[in-house]
Amino acid sequence: MAKPPKENSPITEHLAYLLAQANREINRQLETRLSKEGVPVEQWRILKVLSDGNGHSMGELAEAVLLNHPTLTKMIDRMVSDALVYRVQDPKDRRKVLMFVSDRGKALSRRLNSLAVSQEEHIVESYGDKSTNELKRLLENLIGSAN
């Protein structure tokens, strides 16, 4: 039974540590899959978010893909060079830049999604459908409560 960790209890009883460890492992698995397309996980996230076809501002996008502003700017620079996405100045608010995915980006996004889905299926296989869903639910609640 997990109890709230005391000062001398092992680090493996801390939620913060367990989250970091689980995240690291799952992220590595995903990274390995995506490396088939030579793309880092963050670019998958970016393309996936942009794939709704709407323009997203940099701030919005940074929040959604879990990157801070300057890091995102530089990653987007690369993706623009690779013609995966493009910038449009927001006509409603000219401070903002709206990001869109190109056709090339859409095609890549489809291939990446297929890899990501297959990874998740692999997790469900070895970890179980019930546990996976339960874990997702708990994570959503945690994220909601942590804001």
Partner DNA sequence: CTTCAAATGTTGAATATTCAATATTTTCAC
Partner DNA sequence: GTGAAAATATTGAATATTCAACATTTGAAG
Nearer to a copy of itself, 6 or 95 (CB): 6
Cβ within 8 Å of residue 53, ≥6 positions away: 100, 101
Judged by beta carbon distances under 5 to 8 A according to partner kind, the member of DNA, a copy of itself, none in contact with residue 37 is: none
Determine if 26 is a binding residue for a copy of itself (CB under 8 A).
Answer: yes
Burial class (CB in 10 A: 0-12, 13-18, 19+), 119: middle
Query: In the complex, what is the shortest distance from the CB of residue 58 to a copy of itself, in angstroms, rounded to a whole number?
Result: 17
Q: CA torsion, points 108, 109, 114, 120, in degrees to nearest 10?
A: 140
The helix/strand/coil state of 101 is: strand
Residue linked to tokens 């963050």: 42
Tokens 């390995």 — which residue?
32
| Binding residues among 50-79 for a copy of itself as defined by CB under 8 A | 51, 64, 66
How far apart, in whole angstroms, are the C-alpha atoms of residue 100 and residue 56? 7
Question: Does 121 contact a copy of itself by CB under 8 A?
Answer: yes
According to CB under 8 A, which residues from 4 to 23 bind a copy of itself?
4-8, 11-23
Nearer to a copy of itself, 25 or 93 (CB): 25
Tell me whether residue 65 or residue 112 sits nearer to DNA (CB atom). 65
Count the helices and strands in the chain (H runs, E runs): 6, 3
Residues that bind DNA (CB under 7 A): 42, 57-60, 67-77, 87, 93-97
Closer residue to a copy of itself, CB minimum distance, 88 or 117: 117
